[in-house]
Amino acid sequence: MNELGLQTVKQKFGIIGTSPALHRALDVAVQVAPTDLSVLITGESGVGKEVFPQVIHAYSLRKHGPYFAINCGAIPEGTIDSELFGHEKGSFTGANTERKGYFEVADGGTLFLDEVGELPLSTQARLLRVLETGEFIRVGASKVQKTNVRVVAATNVDVMQAVSEGRFREDLYYRLNTVPISVPALRDRKQDIPLLFRKFAADISEKYRMPPLRLTDEARAMLCNYYWNGNVRQLKNVTEQISIIEQNREITPDILRHYLPENEMGRTPMLWQRNNTKGKTFNSEREILYEVLFDMKKDVNDLKKLVHNIINQNNISPEDMQLIKQYPEETTPYATPVRTLQQVNTSAKNEEHDSLAHIVDDLDYQEAVEYNENADIQVQGNTLQEVEKEMIRRTLIENKGKRNATAAALNISERTLYRKLKEYDLFEPKKKTNK
């Protein structure tokens, strides 16, 4: 679509912004509108996904037909089938009359299913049949009815993760996702933030007949660097609060700071930032976590290598290693190597260890002596389960078998830890013996 066409669409639906990602999403919506293909709109909560089904309907051949928007997450599980497909009189308690569902009354039009990821599995099976055959059955009926409805769905959840966890049907996902549209988060279109702020401020100023707000350059920079976890919805709420409460119409950073939660000031996910410097991109927090686990495994390998080198350089024997384990605080001829290992471990891992015993307990002496640089463990060759098991085992040892402390260190619940211990058979840690 050319620039003039995009401007027309934005003016018609009140869309503010010049971000390339936003323009791309609008272009896809307009291009797919004349077809009857199913569309799945994804994006975080508050980014404005509800506008795109309206664009698709307005530029489709069904624009004169009915349009309904249904929030699937707001309808109780017991009544969602009745809402979508209708029911017969007496089909359940309280069904005093027959009722037409949305798929019946929207025949010839467009149905927008918001939060489609919240649908129960039984309803997903019914929805799949409608999408594939155009047929549905009312609750409590046996007669098959036909409908001609264009379905546009939206969700803010990771659908593929929901599929892997068994919460969403894979066949339904691919049926809905014929044409995907990804709506960018507000933090990914920073150039649009001042424009949106000015638009919201002007609207509230006109509505309540008050002077408009003005942002200083510093306040504008603070606004752009804010994380905006609630996206456009949060920005609108903040703008309205400031417009109503503040008497001073020139907004400075000091004023703005009162309306922005401190835990999101300039927030950038540290893990994302760390990995992005490597030229990598990630589709979910889980992928970031996996990468961090791999990095931690590499750090463990490096630590083993350091221990091996120090042992060789100082000619520490197995008997001496046992003495270090038993008397880590004593002054011995090996006091210097002990202090060196403490310094290495503190600088490499940034953890607080009181003595070398923590390292020696985790590393078998023979393993350190026989360690071969050429035979280094390749992290990519290990499964995630092995990495996770090793992390839990080490943390459990460091916390002396205390589950509550171990769960806190791993940032998981004790219930999850108990399940993991059972899954990996870690209830009885194996004791090391010295030959």
pLDDT > 60? residue 275 = no
Res 286: pLDDT? 53
Res 421: pLDDT? 84
Domain annotation for the chain: domains and CATH numbers: 3-184 (3.40.50.300), 187-264 (1.10.8.60), 285-424 (no CATH)
Question: Mind giving me the DSSP string for 288-335?
Answer: HHHHHHHHHHHHHHHHHHHHHHHHHHTT--HHHHHHHHH-TTS--TTH
Res 347: pLDDT? 45
pTM, full prediction: 0.61
Q: What is the pLDDT of residues 142-157, one digit of tens each?
A: 999 999 999 999 999 9
Res 115: pLDDT? 95
Burial class (CB in 10 A: 0-12, 13-18, 19+), 249: middle
Q: Are the CB atoms for 25 and 182 separated by under 8 Å?
A: yes
- The residue among 185, 216, 180 whose CA lies nearest residue 19 is 185
Helix (H) or strand (E) holding 272: helix 270-276
DSSP state of 184: P
Q: Read off the tokens for 34.
A: 């004349």
Res 345: pLDDT? 46
More confident residue, 138 or 418: 138
Q: How far is the C-alpha of 24 from the C-alpha of 9, rounded, in Å?
A: 13
Q: What is the pLDDT of residues 378-431, one digit of tens each?
A: 444 456 777 788 888 888 888 888 888 888 888 788 888 888 888 888 865 444
Q: What is the pLDDT of residues 203-251, one digit of tens each?
A: 999 999 999 899 999 999 999 999 999 999 999 999 999 999 999 999 9
- State how far the alpha carbon of 138 is from the alpha carbons of 89, 130, 238, in Å: 10, 12, 44
- The residue among 374, 377, 366 whose CA lies nearest residue 300 is 377
Q: What angle do CA 329, 332, 333 make, to 5 degrees?
A: 140
pLDDT > 80? residue 196 = yes
Q: How far is the C-alpha of 226 from the C-alpha of 220, rounded, in Å?
A: 10
Q: How far is the C-alpha of 152 from the C-alpha of 111, rounded, in Å?
A: 6
Instruction: Output helix, strand, coil percentages for the chain, rounded to the nearest 5.
Output: 55, 10, 35
- The residue among 262, 260, 286 whose CA lies nearest residue 275 is 286
Q: How far is the C-alpha of 335 from the C-alpha of 379, rounded, in Å?
A: 33
Q: What is the pLDDT of residues 61-97, one digit of tens each?
A: 999 999 999 999 999 988 999 999 999 998 888 889 9
- Compute φ and ψ for 314, nearest 5 degrees: -105, 5
| SS3 (DSSP) at 56 | helix
Question: Mind giving me the DSSP string for 58-84?
Answer: HTSTTTTS-EEEEEGGGS-TTTHHHHH
Res 294: pLDDT? 66
More confident residue, 169 or 280: 169
Give the model's confidence band at 317: pLDDT under 50 very low, under 70 low, under 90 confident, else very high.
low
Q: Are the CB atoms for 98 and 104 separated by under 8 Å?
A: no
Res 424: pLDDT? 81
Res 287: pLDDT? 57
Res 320: pLDDT? 61
Rg of the chain on CA atoms, in Å:
30
Q: Are the CB atoms for 60 and 39 separated by under 8 Å?
A: no
pLDDT > 90? residue 276 = no
Q: What is the pLDDT of residues 354-364, one digit of tens each?
A: 433 443 344 44
Q: How far is the C-alpha of 225 from the C-alpha of 190, rounded, in Å?
A: 8
Give the model's confidence band at 304: pLDDT under 50 very low, under 70 low, under 90 confident, else very high.
confident
Res 30: pLDDT? 96
**Mean pLDDT for all residues in the chain:** 80
Q: How far is the C-alpha of 316 from the C-alpha of 327, rounded, in Å?
A: 15
Q: How far is the C-alpha of 41 from the C-alpha of 49, rounded, in Å?
A: 7
